Structure 1
Amino acid sequence: MAQLFRLFLLKELHGWTHETALRTYLTHHPELCEQLGLETVPDQSTLWRTWHERFTADLRETIEVAARTILIKAQDVGVTVPREPERQLPFQRDEEESDTGDQAILDEAASITDHVSRVVFPAFSLNRDDGCEIHENAYWDLQTHLGLRDGLAANEGARSFVYETTRNRTPLGHAHRDQIRNLSIEQVREMYRRAVNRLLDEVAETEEFFRAGIAAIDITEADPFKGDRTGHEDEIIGTKEKTDEYAYQWATVQLVGNAVPIVLDARPIRKGETRLEIVEDLLNSAEDLVHVDNVLMDREFDSQHILEMISQRGLSYVVPKRMQTSEKAQAKRLLRRDQSRYETERKLHLGKNEWHETTLIYRRKEDAEHDDHRQYSVFMSNRGSGFLTEYGYRWEIESGYRSIKRFMAATTSKDFGLRFFYFAFACLLYSIWRAVDLLVQVELTGEYEHSQL
């Protein structure tokens, strides 16, 4: 075991992606083999099985951390090293880098792929018959490969995957799509929740992660659909901005704030579904996985029935309110008084002489571009203004969507299930990526600093 540990430490020091490079190096350096006590150079399959099957995840991470530490220490004292070590922790980019680049994703590809095998493989299933020639996990490996390469579709990705994988048999692009299409929306969501639960269990082993926090619910949309949507009108619906364009829409619930920004659940949106149904569904999933304290939503969720449902669960909320006639009039009065902040109680009618009590909080925007009542924003909260500062965390879900969409495989298919699977798997890759950030930081520094994308 000590010999194998040193072999893979050598592989990590050089940054070789595949075992083939390690074997070639050993073949051309017999004196090194003698120093390592090797009588013969192990073949590629032996090296692969050792890393992926014999070594535990903890041991693999130990080797990776040890190699990085050796490279940094050696470089600091002027020793020539085989590659430049990564001195920044994952996701700790310069302030000017407001979004995550493709290279940053590729830099973490090995860690993400390793975690996919631990999180996804036991939770996902294609429900195929026994005896299939291509192992089921090859499909999840291929989907991961598609997600880690920007804008890669199944056919092209299947061809490139052949050269990057150590598997003997891999699916063709059309076969991969056919298998995914056989999964129902309900099956995909159930598998997703099982995988996220496994991921939460893993990060919960660190003292820096608390299985509780603030949940943000929001809706995102795919790029505008340009083709013929005949027969798909209930799935390719309008855009959030009420333009004349059409797009697929997805809703998510995500941890925000000081927690690791893991997407707890995702669901597609069909025509006719109410915001109340969507929020209730996502909260059911979230509360099965973590303890939710506060719910943050955008103004498209400012329905009194949604707010009442959240309050009935014993949760707090902060939601901006669309300004109607009374709110505009109040904002104008505040402007005349040069008053920056104002709170008032409001009863929202639920019907049948039932009301939801909330607090309206008027807040003047700093450096507002308008000189009239539009300088003010109005928020609703059932816990007063004390929770208003938390609303700033909601921006994380928007920045998260940008990263999630980079993890999505490309497709022109109108198949609703396939489209949703691509989005859900991208959410899972993103969540694993952010969990890796926590685990690496804790391993190297003993602390977790919430990363800003």
Structure 2
Amino acid sequence: MVESVTTPDSDDPSREEFLDAIEAETEDLCHIHDHITRIITNLDIREEWFRGYDDPDRAKFDLEPMVRLFLYKHARELNQSEVARRLRGAAYVYLRLGFDQPISQQIISHNKRNRFNAAERSLLKDAADVIRTVCGEHDVIQSNEPALEPEDVQHDQVSEAEIMDAVQRATDLGFSEFSADRASNATYPLEAYFERQGYLNMSRAGTTTASRRFARLSERKTVPHGSSHNRTMKKVAKPESQLTFDEFVTGQQTPEWKRIRDEVLEPFHAGVENILDELTDEDYAEAGFTEPVHAAIDITAWNFYASPFISEQDARTSDKTPIEVTIDGEEKLLDPDHPDLVSGLKDSDERGYKFATITIIAENTPIVLGVEPVRDQRKWEKEMGWDVERTSRADIVESLLEQASRHVDIHKVFLDRGFSSLETRDVIDQREQLYVLGKPARAKVDQDHIEDIQEHEAYDSRIVHGSQTFDGREHEMTYVYTPSKKDGDKYAVFTINEHVDHHRAEALLGQYSQRMEIENEYKTIKKHFLPTSASKDFRIRFLYFVIGSLLYNVWRMANFILRDAVDVDLGDHPPILAGELIELVAFCLFDPPD
């Protein structure tokens, strides 16, 4: 049996020296790193503080990683089984701590008993308490694991160099087309701001984030300050002030938000085209997508928390002149600065900016092909009878299909019942594309069909053929009534713009379920690729969402490039998780000059 050497008791100065050193270094590291795990992995551990085994040659694992492991365990307040799971997790904690491979719970337990005596184990707990206290004071304790540093990344079959090359290639393709009208003697080139924006989007930081948090990622000698960041990004999204020919002739100027949309989407589409060209490159063993493609359209929201209304007291002390409106018979004071593009959400007390996207789904690499801002009519605008520029769901679908048609040939389009209207169906039908579109079961004929199904002894679904007319154009349609997957006691209704039989309808509804890929897209963009922002400026909000969508495409693109290396089928879990791409892209967005 290996005997461990006793550490000096708690009164020994070396104990206080260790704890004081840990506290001082943790304090310093909290100004550099934003997560307690990174604090622990960057601590300077002196081996003389722990004696460990008498015979170090018999130790399978070095002392320093093992010390970090127990500091990590106690500081994160995990038990041994939880630590073992973390070491094997997608975030590759074992690499950060300095191990070549994950270690089991049994090995952790063995080292605890035989490598550290009681005094050393007590010292590790006290040191972890110090680390947790200091990190808590700096608000760098989080429940999730941080993204990987580039030097940490070693997938089973993918080298660090391969990952970095893939991400570099993808970011070069996605972001090379953005520009801004700036002075020739500007302190920083535009790419420096996009480098910083990439970091903000991916770390969910705000534009006022201290420069040092970003500076540590950049190879530039100096980086832009947050105070100038918004001004520069607004210039990227600033539309031309000169009227177009049509505006000059008609005297009707395009709304500002549409001009902003057009300005931002041009470089976005150039980046999409670059990425799609790469995905079809014959150098790869398997194409990233094949045409014609299936596409999904949906709408997501980015919350905006400021109320549109102000109190009478605030109105009396404000320089603003509030607008009097009536809602449900109640008079209210509307904030004149409330953004036009902020709409109400499903929850009555929530509001936000809405964006619609069209995305490749099914067996292809998911890529966002188009983005469209959504301008809904607000309740007070409807009740007051205001004539406002808004986007109907049919307008949104038409714009997104037009954007997507710049890049790919679309065969099928899948939409939820929020888009259900004759006009929307007509827009898709005129393009000779097949759609599967959810439909609210509000009509009496729908209720009659559902009641007939419920009363039938053998059948739990029904197919009904018919046609509808819009603007003089007649469209063949199939109505499908089927039990809801969310609630078996209710029925879902779908419309298909062809006369199809039961087997064909069943196959199409199976494909419709792939529409959920767009929901996963929104979750990924919001969780990993959107910055924190309280800005009211639509230029900033739309630009940041478009950049987030491009970063999603970059992530998908980088994983496609790596698939030859890891032999992963399309649709399997990607080699690089979105959270692990965060800082990789921050390193690769641009190659700073010497």
Answer yes or no: same fold by TM over 0.5. yes
8 Å Cα contact 1:294/1:317 also seen in 2: yes
Equivalent residue letter for 1:235: L
> Matched residue pairs, number?
354
Counterpart for residue 222 of structure 1: 302
Structure 1: distance between partners of 2:101 and 2:431: 49
| TM-score, structure 2 as length reference | 0.55
Q: Map 1:102-251 to 2 at 5 A.
A: 103=146, 110=164, 114-115=168-169, 117-149=171-203, 151-156=204-209, 158-182=211-235, 183-184=237-238, 185=260, 186-205=262-281, 206=284, 207-212=286-291, 213-228=293-308, 230-239=336-345, 241=346, 243-251=348-356
User: 2:405 pairs with 279, 287, 305, which one?
Assistant: 287
Counterpart for residue 275 of structure 1: 393
| SS at 1:309 equivalent | helix
8 Å Cα contact 1:113/1:144 also seen in 2: no
| SS at 2:271 equivalent | helix
1:428 is the counterpart of 2:550 = yes
Computed over aligned residues only, the root mean square deviation of the Cα atoms, in angstroms, reads 2.8
| SS at 1:411 equivalent | coil
1:411 is the counterpart of 2:533 = yes
User: 2:483 pairs with 364, 369, 384, which one?
Assistant: 364
Deviation at 1:268, TM superposition (A): 1.4
Flag the structure with larger Rg.
Answer: 2
Deviation at 1:134, TM superposition (A): 0.8
Equivalent residue letter for 1:152: A
Structure 1: distance between partners of 2:429 and 2:210: 47
8 Å Cα contact 1:304/1:356 also seen in 2: no
Structure 2: distance between partners of 1:403 and 1:367: 23
1:337 is the counterpart of 2:456 = yes
Which shifted more, 213-222 or 354-363? Answer: 354-363
Note the alpha carbon deviations across 1:392-450, whole angstroms, 9 max, x for none: 01111111101101210111110011011111111111111112112112233275344
| SS at 2:222 equivalent | coil
Structure 2, gaps ≥5 residues long: 1-37, 43-96, 103-143, 154-162, 239-259, 309-334, 377-389, 578-594
| TM-score, structure 1 as length reference | 0.72
User: 2:521 pairs with 400, 407, 411, which one?
Assistant: 400
Structure 2: distance between partners of 1:316 and 1:364: 23
8 Å Cα contact 2:170/2:558 also seen in 1: no
Which shifted more, 437-446 or 377-386? Answer: 437-446
Counterpart for residue 78 of structure 1: none
Equivalent residue letter for 2:454: L
Q: Map 1:61-100 to 2 at 5 A.
A: 84=100
8 Å Cα contact 1:211/1:290 also seen in 2: no
Cα gap change, 1:83 to 1:219, in 2 (>3 Å)? same
Note the alpha carbon deviations across 1:271-327, whole angstroms, 9 max, x for none: 321111111111011111111111011101111121122111111000111112210
Cα gap change, 1:316 to 1:156, in 2 (>3 Å)? same
Cα gap change, 1:115 to 1:243, in 2 (>3 Å)? farther
User: 1:319 pairs with 414, 428, 437, which one?
Assistant: 437
Cα gap change, 1:102 to 1:282, in 2 (>3 Å)? farther
1:443 is the counterpart of 2:538 = no
Equivalent residue letter for 1:302: S
Cα gap change, 1:449 to 1:246, in 2 (>3 Å)? closer
Cα gap change, 1:322 to 1:392, in 2 (>3 Å)? same
Equivalent residue letter for 1:156: T
Structure 2: distance between partners of 1:415 and 1:350: 38
8 Å Cα contact 2:461/2:480 also seen in 1: yes
Structure 2: distance between partners of 1:359 and 1:162: 58
Counterpart for residue 136 of structure 2: none
